[in-house]
Structure 1
């Protein structure tokens, strides 16, 4: 399976983790009146397994539970803020895919367009790779991100401002994952950095402005901000940590340009639920484009920025990921009766198992 790293959890890896757990027994589920207590215990278990903080907003048949466990800072008494902001990492890809599919529905671009039409000369064989292949991670273009991490999995230069072209240039120095686009799936942040550049080429406006106007404002996300070069997270937030040389190290400071349209958004659990509700409810995309987004690449759970999660209690749609010591996930059940958005700051222990349990237990309690 894909490997969890302290600073970077790909969406594919996070979803794969769910399959490691035994089915959640119906007999073990909490009674409806105990849901709030069940969710709180799940967050507390996540903290005990090696996270400084864990946050959740779970909406169950119209009732909302917004909870937190742990501390806002390692070794200090201030409790983690339930409404705190955090880096949503690869959940950003769902925002980016929404913008691209909106542009496709408007006729501003076509998913069958070659990358070279919008970004000539940006990558080798750009005329052989389509926008759809970028969306579905079937381009074969390698991921630049691992080369920017140290042996602890931490960003080596967290305050540097990166240009999208610089990130793509790093990927261009690496061998292709496979030579024939469209024949395989290989998760790569480079694909979505390129899609952010395509949005700018197709609209003549910055990606941050497009995602703000087309998604953030339209879905009424009041505490969500588009990727920028600001290294701080403003407003209440849990800080993030990693084990570096055997010591707990604060790694909250990070320049989001290292991921941009692939992972640079900051949000809250409430806003993530609101966004996914708007998306799956048809308020951000027409039915045809939403159906494309939900359709996974054969043999995977990944569609176009949106993943399908099979659980013992039903099918969920959403996304997950991590960067800079933050883990984020948002999944809604197909029938709309259970909405789950989570954040955690894992730094030690066995985060794979703890985060998988967090996802599954909040989905199926």
Structure 2
């Protein structure tokens, strides 16, 4: 049985109260783990082929947009998107994106808007399946594929496929696509320096690269449930999610989860841009999640969570 542990830094909810382990926060890229798990559940149910080309699976307008930017969607596979080995440019990592969304905090962005920015600002970074390049854009495409296969909104599909309602997640929902649970406290105020990023419209990070709101308690618990294999019917499915590809950089990322090997022990982890992180230690079955209200504290938060999960602190922290 995994042992979940939740941590928070000093912070503020939308009512001005101090954060605690049940305060919901935007978890940004921590969402990717559960988006990937949803695809693996569809794979387990034989509704998707991980090695299928993405072209026929995508909304035609998005497929056409990608092809106009030089992406060969007949060669890029679902597995490559999940493992960040598709060579996709990352619109969210481009410094222009944060400046753009900060300048238009109330704008409602679409998936196609964000894919268009990736095509406009960048180009394919490598041939499909040859190298790791982290990309929110790739997970936006995964979100589109999930919606088309299930016929549901991404939030509903993740909830349904992973049966989230079974796990007593009192502070978990997909923004815009779902209503907050009646049990959830007010969502936290989250900052980038002095700017309150939690006032940005949720659509800036909604379509698969991010989108979930969770408390640290829920994030730790659901991560533990994942690695205990309870989200899937077969042990083979979790093993497939932890597949290591042949591409350059594959040693550091699986399908929806980073991995660190320290003194011969694997630790699975993922972070979220606004100030969240979760680690899981297979050797001890411990899952630890943490959150801070300011993005600039993320590096220190990671160090605290690593210590809590059993990783020795770096001497420079």
- Normalising TM by the smaller chain, what interval? 0.7 to 0.9
Q: 5+ residue gaps in structure 1?
A: 1-58
- 2:10 is the counterpart of 1:70: yes
How is 1:331-342 mapped onto 2 (pairs within 5 angstroms)? 331-342=279-290
Residue 133 of structure 2: aligned partner? 186
- Aligned with 2:252 (options 301, 305, 310): 301
Distance 1:209 1:238, change over 3 A: closer
- Aligned with 2:219 (options 264, 268, 272): 272
Residue 77 of structure 2: aligned partner? 130
Distance 1:170 1:195, change over 3 A: same
Q: Superposition RMSD on alpha carbons, in Å?
A: 2.9
Measured against aligned partners, the alpha-carbon deviations of 1:219-252 in whole angstroms (never above 9, x if no partner) come to 4423110242699997234422233xxxx33332
How is 1:134-153 mapped onto 2 (pairs within 5 angstroms)? 134-145=81-92, 146=94, 147-150=96-99
Preserved contact between residue 81 and residue 238 of structure 1 (Cα < 8 Å): no
Q: Write the distance in 1 (CA, Å) between the matches of 2:150 and 2:7.
A: 40
1:357 Cα shift? 1.8
Distance 1:304 1:337, change over 3 A: closer
1:332 Cα shift? 1.5
Preserved contact between residue 84 and residue 236 of structure 1 (Cα < 8 Å): yes
Q: Give aligned pairs, total.
A: 293
Measured against aligned partners, the alpha-carbon deviations of 1:293-344 in whole angstroms (never above 9, x if no partner) come to 223345331100022133459422232121xxx3111112103432211111
Q: 5+ residue gaps in structure 2?
A: 312-317
1:170 Cα shift? 1.6
- Aligned with 1:235 (options 185, 189, 194): 185
Preserved contact between residue 135 and residue 192 of structure 1 (Cα < 8 Å): yes
Q: Which stretch shifts more, 94-103 or 214-223?
A: 214-223
1:95 Cα shift? 0.7
Distance 1:211 1:339, change over 3 A: same
Preserved contact between residue 294 and residue 307 of structure 1 (Cα < 8 Å): no
- Aligned with 1:101 (options 27, 37, 40): 40
Q: Write the distance in 1 (CA, Å) between the matches of 2:203 and 2:109.
A: 5
* TM, length-normalised to structure 2: 0.82
